């Protein structure tokens, strides 16, 4: 049956056929080439010389992506089983990956429907890149990282809140200290906030920096606190990863008293 065959081609899984592998890597390659095309399209020399070629490549890509999307719509009742075909299509269209697939082709058809900003379109086209995430659909690593971050979100949020407090207080202090001496570099709190973030994250571009003694003392304190702001989330996340490993191991433990297996999820 045709539907069965298409399903096997477009859907990765335990029943992954050779055709699916070829299809998957082909689509992946096309996505990467599309992102590369988007990137080199911003270089004026290339846009002048190879602009036509890039547009043709874009057109071919969109045709392939559209065909793929239609194929996925066609087999929606197999990938998203439900009481009716329409419901299955809806389920697919509004699923996470379904949305990404749509967003990847929408920017091409949108100008035919409504007037849109070209820059806005480019960002939408970039969304195709998210499709590479599909590679990780069965990837336990992404889930592990995500579960650690989610489990520790409360501690990470507190660290974030304390960081914002430090940034705010140092910005206001710095503004009082430096705005008179360097009114062009520290004209208002927002400019000072920009300096504070560059210092706390230890980026230190060097476009703004204090020149007064008091300003340098404040800046030094922020830079030192920056180490703590790196150390805290790292420590929290390290503990989170360790904990996950411990739990996994613990679930294979046995009680030393009665010898029975302890299959608990701590």
What tokens appear for 251 in the block? 């679930």
Residue choice 39, 63, 70, 116 for contact with its own copies (CB under 8 A): 39
Cα–Cα dist 187/158, whole Å? 30
Taking CB under 8 A as the rule, does residue 161 contact its own copies?
A: yes
Q: Which stretch binds its own copies (CB under 8 A): 21-29, 51-59, 91-99, 217-225?
A: 217-225
Rule CB under 8 A: which of 181-210 touch its own copies?
A: 187-190, 193-194, 197-199, 201-207, 209
What region, left, alpha or beta, does residue 13 occupy, with left being phi > 0 and alpha being psi -120 to 50 degrees? left
**Smallest gap from residue 169 Cβ to its own copies (A):** 6
Taking CB under 8 A as the rule, does residue 82 contact its own copies?
A: no
Rule CB under 8 A: which of 118-147 touch its own copies?
A: 119, 122-123, 126, 129-130, 132, 136, 139-142, 144-145
Q: Which stretch binds its own copies (CB under 8 A): 37-45, 59-67, 98-106, 108-116?
A: 37-45
Residues whose CB is less than 8 angstroms from the CB of residue 207 and which lie 6 or more positions away in sequence, other chains included: 185, 198
Report, in this order, helix, strand and coil percent for the chain, each rounded to 5.
75, 0, 25
Taking CB under 8 A as the rule, does residue 173 contact its own copies?
A: yes
Taking CB under 8 A as the rule, does residue 241 contact its own copies?
A: yes
Residue choice 14, 48, 114, 258 for contact with its own copies (CB under 8 A): 258
What region, left, alpha or beta, does residue 196 occupy, with left being phi > 0 and alpha being psi -120 to 50 degrees? alpha
- Answer whether 17's CB lies under 8 Å from 8's CB: yes
């Amino acid at each position: 049956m045709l539907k069965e065959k298409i399903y096997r081609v477009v859907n990765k899984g335990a029943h992954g056929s050779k055709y699916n592998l070829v299809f998957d890597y082909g689509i992946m390659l096309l996505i990467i080439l599309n992102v590369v095309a988007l990137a080199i399209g911003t270089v004026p020399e290339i846009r002048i010389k190879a602009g036509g070629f890039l547009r043709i490549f874009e057109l071919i890509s969109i045709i392939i992506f559209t065909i793929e999307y239609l194929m996925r719509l066609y087999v929606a009742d197999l990938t998203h089983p439900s009481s009716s075909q329409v419901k299955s299509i809806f389920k697919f269209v509004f699923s996470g990956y379904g949305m990404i697939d749509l967003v990847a082709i929408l920017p091409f058809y949108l100008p035919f429907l409504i007037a849109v900003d070209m820059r806005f379109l480019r960002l939408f086209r970039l969304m195709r890149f998210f499709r590479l995430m599909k590679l990780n659909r069965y990837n336990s690593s992404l889930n592990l990282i995500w579960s650690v971050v989610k489990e520790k979100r409360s501690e990470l949020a507190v660290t974030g809140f304390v960081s914002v407090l430090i940034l705010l207080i140092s910005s206001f202090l710095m503004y009082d200290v430096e705005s008179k001496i360097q009114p062009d570099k520290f004209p208002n709190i927002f400019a000072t906030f920009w300096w504070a973030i560059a210092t706390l994250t230890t980026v230190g571009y060097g476009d703004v920096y204090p020149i007064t003694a008091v300003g340098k003392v404040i800046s030094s304190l922020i830079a030192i606190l920056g180490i703590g702001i790196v150390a805290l989330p790292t420590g929290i996340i390290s503990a989170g990863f360790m904990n996950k490993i411990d739990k996994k191991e613990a679930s294979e433990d046995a009680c030393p008293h009665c010898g029975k297996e302890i299959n608990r999820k701590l």
